[in-house]
Amino acid sequence: MQTPRYAFFEGRIVPFAEARISVMTHGFMYGTACFEGIRGYWDERAGALAFFRLRDHYARLHRSCRILRLGLRYPVEELCELTAELARKNGDRADVYLRPIVYKSALQIGPHLNGVADDFTMLMLPFGKYIEAGGGIRCRTVSWRRPSDGMIPARAKVNGLYVNSALAKTEALEDGYDEAIMLTADGAVAEGSTENLFLVSDGTLVTPPVSDSILVGITRDTVLTLARRELGLPVVERRVDRTELYVADECFFCGTGAEISPIVEIDRRPVGPGKVGPVTRRVQALYLDVVHGRHPGYADWRYPVGIP
């Protein structure tokens, strides 16, 4: 028998079947919503789900809401407490994916944001690998471009923006690749469909700047912090040309879902020798140690919730 699942909806925890919106909901019709994607890692020894950088995700959700003129009445600490309550109610003793969403909840026609009621919901699901990286993934630079900050701001996780990601990912998959690489409107490297991108060149870790139409990723910040603090790697945030990817020694994606996903081929060109590189392996191993609580220095990044 399948275990009943619960969601937080309209101010209370309810069975999934009761967490429903109308077809006239503003956020559904116009994409006027913001969300976060958060992983919870099951810790068998502690009997707890440890949500990674939970407070940082909720702080970013509040920033997204300010951009989209959404009202989020719960402060960060209360959102963390609601997450813990929902986790205990669902009782998952395995890795999970948490998606909190703030959305325009009014039942009305018209895409304006001012004076439109909003609400908050949250769901949680068992979750494994988002990308089966294995020995590395193959990527294609797609024709779809990332919108600029003056179109749809990428620094906000706006639901409607992910149509852009869906078009890019679909193009890559239909052309036989695992993932898309997207460029800015003027041709600089931006990111994957739902991941930030890093390359390694002559021992330096390079990633596009936040001004180049990317999400200001929390996993990206984690990689930057660990690379500088733990691995002693020189790190540069700067504009990246498409052809730099073709001559890079290594490349990898990072994100909540993707974690650290090595890239071994781009546009039918091998990245370096065409296999996972040593820097990527070091970053990946350290990241997994941190999120699973095997590294003693980053306990404050984990928010443990005991599961009965």
Query: Which residues participate in catalysis according to the annotation?
Result: 157
Contact 292, 301 (CB under 8 A): no
Give the chain's length.
Answer: 308
| Element housing 269 (H / E) | strand 269-270
**What SS3 class is residue 39?**
strand
| C-beta atoms surrounding 161 within 10 Å | 18
Nearest of 177, 267, 286 to residue 224 by alpha carbon: 286
Nearest of 262, 266, 229 to residue 246 by alpha carbon: 266
Helix segments in 104-256, DSSP class H:
162-174, 218-229, 242-247
Nearest of 235, 242, 151 to residue 191 by alpha carbon: 242
Contact 213, 164 (CB under 8 A): no
